[in-house]
Structure 1
C-alpha cells in the first residue's frame, strides 16, 4: 500500500502533542465552561498557538490530573482534533483520549478512533478501533495499534483499500479489492511498512496470500524492490513472464533489471540505468538473449546465437560556454544498436525499421540556433545494405531570424555543412549558405501582400559516384557549385461575414514564385531530398522539396481558396489549390504531384460538430484529367459512450507513375476502430487495419477493459500478419492488471 499505515506515530507527533501541551498549559486555569488558547514549541523551538475549547475543563491538584470533557476541540495550524474526553495524568505521564475521536492532519488525512493512551514523551502508546480516510479517498482500518520506542508502530487485524466502500446512494458495498493483514509494522527509522500473514481480496474473495510483504512508507520517493510482473502469450515467443526489479542506487541514480522467461526461446535479460549528474541526465537500456538460431524462413538451424540491443540517450548543459560565447549551450546524444534486423520487432522492444544515432552540440540564442552533430544509421529492412548506410561526420547548421525591421521586414540567414561517408558507397561533401528577406503589407482594401527575396549558394564535392544507393540519387565525381536566387510575391484577401449565429471567412490566395530553370544539375547527388509529397500543407511553400539537395526550379503560380464557417457546434474549414509551372522539370517525379506544367489539385476539409463528429478529408486530383491520385479520410464519430474511428487511404497508380524514378505500388488501406462503454466501468475496444489492394488484414486488436477508481483490468487479443524473415504472422494475448497504490 502506498503508505497509509502511520496512525500511531501520526497521533504522537501531531495531534496528541497538541492535546497534552494544551492541557498542561491549562493547569493553572480555573474550571470553566470553555478553555483558553495555549502554545507549544514546534521542532524549531518557536511558539505555535493552539486553539482549545471544551464544555468543561478541570484540574485536580491532589491527583495531578487534568480533564477536558464535552466537545473537546484543539487546532494547531492546519491540524484539528475532536474528542469526547481527554485525561492528562501528570504523575503517570500518560494522556488518555476517550469517546468519538476525530482528527485531521495538515495533509487532509482524517483519523477516527475510540480509545487512545500514550505517554507524555510520545514514545509508547496504544489506540483502539482505528479508521483513516486519506486525502485520495483511500481507507484503512485496524482493531488495535501500538507505538513502541517512538519510532515503531504495530497494527493488528488491519485492512486497506483505495476503492469505494459506499455507492452513490450511501449504501455500503464490498470494495473491488482490499488487502488484509494479521499485523502491519511501520518502522519510521527504516521508513518501511511490513505486512505479515497478508491476503489480497477481490470483490471480497481471497485471491492471493503471502506470509510476508514489505514496501517503503509514504515519505520515501522510491525504494528498491519488485515491481508488478508482466504476463504475455504469443505464438512466436510462447508464454512470457517479465519480473522487473527496481534498484534505488542513490538519490541521483537508479536502475531496473528485468529478467524474462519465454517458453519458446528461453530467458532474456533486460535492464535500464538512469542517472542525473547535476548539469544533465542520461539513461541506457539494453537486453541480451541466447536462443536457437533461425533462418530467414523462421526455421531452427541447430545452432545457438546471441541477440540483443543497446539504447542510450542523454542531454547536458555546457554552462562554461554560455557566458564567453553567448547563448545557451548544451550537448546531447541518442544512440542505439541491435544485433540483427528483426530482433527488436520479434521481441516487441521497438517497431522501428531504422536505428538513428546522433551526437550533437547545440547553441540556442535569442533569435538563432546552431548545432554541430554526427549521425549514423542502422537499417533494419530487408533491402538495407550495411555498406551503403550513410554516416554524417559531421553535419553543421546555423539559423538566424532578425527582429522586424523597417516597415516590418524580416531577414533570415541559414548555413549548412555536411560530410556524408559510406563504407562501400558514394561520398558527398556539401556547403550551403543562404539569406532571405520578407516584407508584409496590408492595403486599404484589406488585401495582404507579402514580398520575399532569397538567394542560396551550394558547393558539392562527390567521390565514388559509380556506387550510389540508387540510380535516381547519384551524382558525378568532382566539385560543382550552384546559385539559387528566388523572388516571391503573395496576395491574399481575407473576407469575413458575420451572421446571427455563424461567422464565415473566404480567402483567395495567389502567389508568384520566380526562379532559374537550372537548379538541379546532374552532377549533384540527392542525399536528403528523396521524399517529396505535394499536399495542402506545402501548397504555398517556396520549395516543396525536403532537405537541400533538390531545388524546385523555374517560375510558377500557386493559387488556392480557403473557406471556413463557425457556429455554436459546427466548425468547418476547406482549402483547394493548384500550381502552374512555366518550366517542366523532368527531375521532379510524376508521382509527387508536381510533375509537368500543371500540378495536381490538392484539397482538405475539416469538419467538427460538437462532441459527435470530427472529420478530416484530403484529396489529390490529376492536374489535367482530374483523375483521383490520393483519397484519404480520418473520422471520429459518435457519442461519448460509443466512439467509432474510421480511416481510409487510396493511392491508385496512374499511367505516368510507372515511369517514375522511384518504384511505386498501389496502396488502398482501411482502418477502423471502436470503443463502447457498455456499463459504468466496463468497455469493449477494437481496431483493424486492412489492405484492400490485396484483400488481407495487416493487424487487428480486440479487448475488454474494466476500470474504476482503484482497479484497471484488461484482456487483449492482438493479431499481426507481418512477415519479415524470422518474423511470422503472430497472435498475442495480453493480461493487464493495475491496482491503485499497490506496487
Structure 2
C-alpha cells in the first residue's frame, strides 16, 4: 500500500511551490518510477524506468533525485528528453531546475524535427528558450561507426533559439567526409521547423554557352508574417543580373511580382529587364479581381536567360462574378509578341471584353438564356500596309463588335430511351470597323437559329463485370442570315474535335457563325472493365448544305462534308494512359493529328506526344508541322533519379531542344545536375547550352526537395 502511494506523494511534492513564493499557473510535474524513497526529508530519489512529465516536456532516465531546498533535479542516464514532436535530447547525465527551463546536460545530442542532429560535450538550457551547446557537431547525415558523416559543421559554440527557431554558430568549420572545406567566424541557419526566416537560400552554379559560368545566391527577406522579398544576384564574367520576387498575402487575396535586371555582353544597347506579376482578390458582392502583368525590355531576353518559353506576353485585368444563374466578366488585355514574323503594331494589341450571361426558368418549361458580349481590339499602327496586299488590308485596323443572343433550351426523354434536346433563339451581331478601306465602317445582322439533338444510349452489362455503352448522336441545326462583310481577326484557328462535334458554331469567337442547314452525326463507345481499365472512342462528321469559306482547309470543315473525326482514350490502373485524335479526309489523308502516351508508377513517369498539322497558308503555315516530344523521370536506385526530355522537328529532321538531369538525394543532402540545349535560332536568339549544379543540405528547411531516403550502415 505504501509503495503505491509513494509515486503519488512524490508527484504532489513536486507540484507544490517552494516556500515563500506564490503559486504559479504552470503545470505540475508528474513522476512515475519503479522505486521511490525519501532522504533527509527534503530529498526524493527515484530509480528504475523513471519518467517525469511536465506540460509538453517528457524525460526518461534510470535515476532521478529532487532536492526540495535547492529545487534541483539530478538525472543519471541514459537520458531521453522530448519536448513536443520537434525536439529530442539524448544525454548521459543532467542537472535541471524544477521547471526544466535552466540547467546543464552532459554528453548531449539534440535532434530537431527528427532531421538535424546536434551533438555536444555540454548543453546548457537557459530560460526554457535557449540551448547552448559547447564543442558541438551538427549534421543531418547517417553516422556509421567511426566514419565521418557526409557533411558536418563543427563549432566552438552553437546556440539554439527555440522561439525564433534559429541556430547561431561561433567559430564554425564545414567538413565533407571529415575534410575541412571552409571556416566562418559567425554563422546563422534556420532550424528544420522554420518556414520563413531572413537569410541565404541554396545557391546554384549555372553554365551557359552565351553567359559563361556564373553563380546564383538567393537571399530571402522576411518583411512580415504576410509578405517577403527574395533577391538573387546572378554573376558571371558576361552578366551582372539581379533577380527578384515579392509576395504578399491579404485577407481577401494575394499578389506576387518578380523579374530581373541585367547588364551583359549580349545586348549592347543598355540594360535589360523583365517584369511579371499576378494576383487574385475577392471584391464586394461576390466579384473577383484577377490580374496578370508581363513586360520585357527586348524580345530575346527571356530566351537568353531561360526565364520563359512564351513567345507572346499577356497582361490583363479581369473582374468577374459567377453565380448559379448569372455570369458577369469585364476584362482589359495587352499583348506583346516576341515572334520574329510578327510586328506588334500590326497585330491586335489592346483588347477589351465585357460579357454577361443570365438564365431563367419560365413556367412553360425549359430554360431561357440571355447573353451579351462586347469586344474591341486595337492596333497601334495608323499607316497603310506597304506591300502586295496594300489594296486589301491596312496595318491599323480596329474592330468593335456587339453580340446579343436569346435562346430557349429544353430536353425530353422519348420512347426507347432516346434523349432529345431542343434549342430555338435569335442572335444579333453588330460590328464597327476602323482603318480598313475595304470593309464597311458598320454592319449589323439578326439571325434566327434552331437545333435538335438526339442521343440514344445502349448499355450492356456482362457477367465478367464489363460495361459497354454505345451512344449514337445526331444534331440538325439551322442559322439564318448570309453573314457580314467583317474582318476575321479572331477565328483564324478553328479546332474540330469531340468537344464541339454537337456545337451550334465551331468558331472560337462570334465574329463568325456557322450558317445555313447542317447536321452532325457521330457515335460514342465507352467500355468500363472491372479489372481496372477503361476505353473511349468517338467517331463524327459534319454535313452542310453549302460550303463555308470561313473555314480553312486544314480545319477539316471547309467542304460540305467534313473530315472524319476519330478520337480515343485508354487508361488503366497500372498508370498507362493513351489519348489520340485526328481528322481524316475522304481519301484517308490526315489533315491534323495528335497523340499522347504516359506511363506513371512509383519508380518512373514517362510521357511522349506527337503532333501533325498539314500545310495551310491561311493559318500562316506554309509547310507541314510534324513534331514529337518526350519527358521522363525514373529512379536509377534508392537515391538517384534521372530525367530526360527532348523535342524533335520531323519535317526539318533536326532537334529543337533536349535536356538531361540527375538528382541524388538521401537523408542529409540533395545534389542536382542538369544540362539542356536549345537548337533553334533566329535573328534575335542563337542556340545555347545550359548547365546547372545545385547542392542543398537537408535539415535547415521545413520542406526539403527530393525523397530523402536514408542510407543504411554496413
Match of 1:724 in 2: 682
Provide structure 2 residue ranges, at least 5 long, that are not aligned to the other structure: 382-395, 702-714
Distance change (3 Å), C-alpha of 1:141 and 1:447: farther
Match of 1:377 in 2: 335
Q: Distance in 2 between matches of 1:730 and 1:287?
A: 20
Match of 2:379 in 1: 422
Match of 1:530 in 2: 492
Cα offset, 1:664, TM superposition: 3.6
Cα offset, 1:45, TM superposition: 5.8
Match of 2:168 in 1: 194
Cα offset, 1:32, TM superposition: 5.2
Provide structure 1 residue ranges, at least 5 long, that are not aligned to the other structure: 1-28, 295-302, 323-327, 467-474
Q: Which moved more, 1:283-292 or 1:551-560?
A: 283-292
Q: Any residues of structure 2 matched to 1:9-408 within 5 Å, and which? A: 34-36=7-9, 37-38=11-12, 46=25, 48=27, 51-61=30-40, 64-76=42-54, 79-107=57-85, 109-120=87-98, 124-136=102-114, 138-148=116-126, 151-164=129-142, 176-187=150-161, 192-202=166-176, 207-217=181-191, 221-264=195-238, 266-292=239-265, 294=267, 303-319=268-284, 322=285, 328-392=286-350, 394-402=352-360
Distance change (3 Å), C-alpha of 1:492 and 1:165: farther
Cα offset, 1:217, TM superposition: 4.9
Classify the secondary structure of the residue corresponding to 2:554: helix
Classify the secondary structure of the residue corresponding to 1:35: helix
Q: Distance in 1 between matches of 2:504 and 2:466?
A: 34
Q: Is the 8 A contact 2:336 2:349 kept in 1?
A: no
Classify the secondary structure of the residue corresponding to 1:445: helix
Cα offset, 1:50, TM superposition: 5.4
Cα offset, 1:312, TM superposition: 2.6
Cα offset, 1:121, TM superposition: 6.4
Distance change (3 Å), C-alpha of 1:138 and 1:503: farther
Q: Distance in 1 between matches of 2:173 and 2:406?
A: 71
Q: Is the 8 A contact 1:611 1:640 kept in 2?
A: no
Q: Is the 8 A contact 2:113 2:192 kept in 1?
A: no
Cα offset, 1:189, TM superposition: 6.9
Matched, 1:410 2:367: yes
Q: Distance in 2 between matches of 1:456 and 1:312?
A: 38
Q: Distance in 1 between matches of 2:406 and 2:154?
A: 72
Cα offset, 1:333, TM superposition: 2.4
For 1:512-558, what per-residue CA distance to the aligned partner results, in whole angstroms no more than 9, with x for missing partners? 11112513x22x22232222121223222221111221112222111
Match of 1:504 in 2: 468
Cα offset, 1:177, TM superposition: 4.3
Q: Is the 8 A contact 1:60 1:66 kept in 2?
A: yes
Q: Distance in 1 between matches of 2:71 and 2:426?
A: 90
Cα offset, 1:710, TM superposition: 4.0
Q: Distance in 2 between matches of 1:445 and 1:249?
A: 68
Cα offset, 1:602, TM superposition: 1.0
Q: TM-score, normalised by structure 1?
A: 0.84
Cα offset, 1:150, TM superposition: 5.4
Q: Is the 8 A contact 1:453 1:486 kept in 2?
A: yes
Distance change (3 Å), C-alpha of 1:598 and 1:40: farther
Cα offset, 1:705, TM superposition: 2.5
Q: Distance in 2 between matches of 1:617 and 1:393?
A: 34
Match of 2:595 in 1: 633
**Which one of the candidate residues 449, 452, 462 is aligned to 1:489?**
452
Q: Distance in 2 between matches of 1:406 and 1:685?
A: 61
Cα offset, 1:318, TM superposition: 2.9
**Which one of the candidate residues 683, 688, 707 is aligned to 2:646?**
688
Cα offset, 1:75, TM superposition: 3.6
Q: Is the 8 A contact 2:554 2:592 kept in 1?
A: no
Cα offset, 1:214, TM superposition: 0.3
Distance change (3 Å), C-alpha of 1:193 and 1:405: farther
Distance change (3 Å), C-alpha of 1:503 and 1:98: same
Distance change (3 Å), C-alpha of 1:447 and 1:174: farther
Q: Distance in 1 between matches of 2:196 and 2:15?
A: 34
Matched, 1:573 2:536: yes
Q: Distance in 2 between matches of 1:361 and 1:305?
A: 37
Q: TM-score, normalised by structure 2?
A: 0.87
Q: Distance in 2 between matches of 1:662 and 1:47?
A: 77
Q: Is the 8 A contact 2:102 2:124 kept in 1?
A: yes
Match of 1:325 in 2: none
Cα offset, 1:184, TM superposition: 0.8
Classify the secondary structure of the residue corresponding to 2:307: coil
Distance change (3 Å), C-alpha of 1:121 and 1:607: closer
Q: Distance in 2 between matches of 1:41 and 1:432?
A: 82
Cα offset, 1:598, TM superposition: 0.6
Cα offset, 1:391, TM superposition: 4.6
Q: Is the 8 A contact 2:203 2:694 kept in 1?
A: no
Q: Distance in 2 between matches of 1:615 and 1:220?
A: 43
Q: Distance in 1 between matches of 2:634 and 2:190?
A: 39
Cα offset, 1:44, TM superposition: 12
Q: Is the 8 A contact 2:116 2:699 kept in 1?
A: no
Matched, 1:459 2:430: yes
Q: Distance in 1 between matches of 2:282 and 2:466?
A: 51
Q: Distance in 2 between matches of 1:525 and 1:138?
A: 66
Cα offset, 1:662, TM superposition: 4.4
Q: Is the 8 A contact 1:155 1:184 kept in 2?
A: yes
Q: Which moved more, 1:544-553 or 1:29-38?
A: 29-38
Q: Distance in 2 between matches of 1:306 and 1:57?
A: 78
Cα offset, 1:48, TM superposition: 4.5
Q: Distance in 2 between matches of 1:506 and 1:172?
A: 70
**Which one of the candidate residues 392, 398, 421 is aligned to 1:450?**
421
Q: Distance in 1 between matches of 2:56 and 2:99?
A: 22
Q: Any residues of structure 2 matched to 1:692-707 within 5 Å, and which? A: 692-707=650-665
Q: Is the 8 A contact 1:35 1:57 kept in 2?
A: no
Q: Distance in 2 between matches of 1:608 and 1:131?
A: 51
Q: Is the 8 A contact 2:581 2:593 kept in 1?
A: yes
State the superposition RMSD in angstroms.
3.1
Distance change (3 Å), C-alpha of 1:179 and 1:592: same
Q: Distance in 2 between matches of 1:41 and 1:59?
A: 16
Q: Is the 8 A contact 1:517 1:583 kept in 2?
A: no
Cα offset, 1:215, TM superposition: 2.6
Distance change (3 Å), C-alpha of 1:30 and 1:712: closer
Cα offset, 1:155, TM superposition: 0.4
Q: Is the 8 A contact 2:156 2:172 kept in 1?
A: yes
Distance change (3 Å), C-alpha of 1:611 and 1:434: same
How many aligned positions are there?
Answer: 678
Match of 1:589 in 2: 552
Matched, 1:647 2:612: no
